[in-house]
Homo-oligomer: A and B are copies of this chain.
Amino acid sequence: MTRGIVLLAHGSRDERWRQPIEAVAARVLADEPDARVACAYMELAEPDLPTAVATLVADGATAIRVVPLFLGMGKHAREDLPHQLDALRQRWPAIGFTLARIVGEEPELVDLLARIAVKS
With known contacts A16-B78, A24-B114, A114-B27, A69–B67 Cβ distance under 8 A: no
User: In the complex the two chains form, is B69's CB within 8 Å of A71's CB?
Assistant: yes
Q: Which residues of chain A have a CB within 8 Å of any CB of chain B?
A: 5, 7, 9-10, 12-14, 16-21, 23-24, 27-28, 30-32, 35, 65, 67, 69-76, 78, 100, 102-106, 108-118, 120
Copies in the complex: 2
Residues of B within 8 A of A74 (CB): 12-14, 16-17
Supplied contacts A17-B72, A17-B74, A109-B109, 9 more A-B pairs, CB within 8 Å? A7-B117, A16-B73, A20-B71, A21-B71, A21-B72, A30-B114, A71-B71, A100-B117, A108-B116
